[in-house]
Structure 1
Amino acid sequence: MIPPRFPITPQQIDATLAEFYLCVREHPGLGPVFHRHVTDWPEHEAKIARFWRNAILFERAYDGNPMAVHMAAGDVRAPMFAVWLGLFDSVLRRTLPADTAAAWSALAHRIGRGMQMAVQDRDGAGPPKLL
């Protein structure tokens, strides 16, 4: 059995995601995009919980492809990832011990950067310009 990336319980993951998606549904920029694609919020939260349990706890219960889903959505834009991650970070800080929140945030930012770059490429924005 592989040890978790950092100490967190499945219940903490579920509670954090429940709080996060409450915030997402009310967010003026993210809410409309999510509402166009999510028709069953409890199922969506359960699926995303499986994703994070796989990424953090190595439970192997998630079998989706989040990159493909975000790319196919069509209305997910690169700047949304900074907003999403900022909202996620604020929920992490409110719901978890500081060390756990920081570790989960670092993982989410790493995943988010990959998705953001793929969306930029899809939209023809290309990679960020390095000075």
Structure 2
Amino acid sequence: MAQQTHPLARFPIAPEQIDTVVAAFYHSVRRHPSLAPIFAAHVADWPAHETKIALFWRNAILFQRGYDGNPMAVHKAAGNVHPSMFDPWLALFDATLAAELPPETAQAWSTLAHRIGRGLRYGLVDSAKTASGVPLLR
């Protein structure tokens, strides 16, 4: 596949590869024992969700406009997303990247995903505290 990458892209990848990774990842999510119920509680239209998330990654990696959303607000508002869920999410995402992409591309995307995941996890920790101010990490 010829890679058509924005000149300022974080790393070389074709938009179609992003779509493929997103579809493969959510295929795995729907079968994952702990992640499937969380996603099922919030995603009614999988094709629309996959399209939106592909747009998110196209923006984050290729700087293509088109994503309109606030991941932090969505994850906070979900109510059943907790910081500990990011470990299995990222492990499954890394496995998908390794299966679908060349190693150097998979590693570059994984690094970005882990950085974004840390930010989301910290945002959830910040909002999940006991009355005494101690963070709830589970």
TM-score normalised according to structure 2 size: 0.89
Consecutive unaligned residues in structure 1, runs of 5 or more: none
Q: Does 1:69 align with 2:78?
A: no
Q: Deviations over 1:21-76 (max 9, x none)?
A: 01000001000000000000000000000000000000011110011000000000
Match of 2:97 in 1: 92
Instruction: Calculate the aligned-residue CA RMSD, in Å.
Output: 1.5
Q: Which residue is equivalent to 1:29?
A: 34
- Give, in whole Å, the separation in 2 of the partners of 1:63 and 1:79: 26
- The size of the alignment, in residue pairs, is 128
Residue aligned with 2:33, SS: coil
Q: In structure 2, what is the Cα distance between the partners aligned to 1:15 and 1:118?
A: 28
* Structure index of larger Rg: 2
Deviation above 4 Å: which 4+ runs of structure 1?
A: none
CA displacement 1:55-106 (0-9 Å, x = unmatched): 0000011110011000000000110001100000000000000000000000
Could you list the runs of 5+ residues in structure 2 that have no partner in the other structure? 1-5
**Conserved in 1, the CA contact under 8 Å of 2:128 and 2:136?**
no
What TM-score do the two structures reach when normalised by structure 1?
0.94
- In percent, how many aligned pairs have the same letter? 58
Matching residue of 1:45: 50
The structure with the largest helix share of the pair is 1
Deviation per residue, 1:85-131 (Å, 9 max, x gap): 00000000000000000000000000000100111121115398xxx
Higher relative contact order (CA 8 A, sep 6+): 1
Distance verdict in 2 for CA 1:25–1:102, change over 3 Å: same
Amino acid at match of 2:72: M
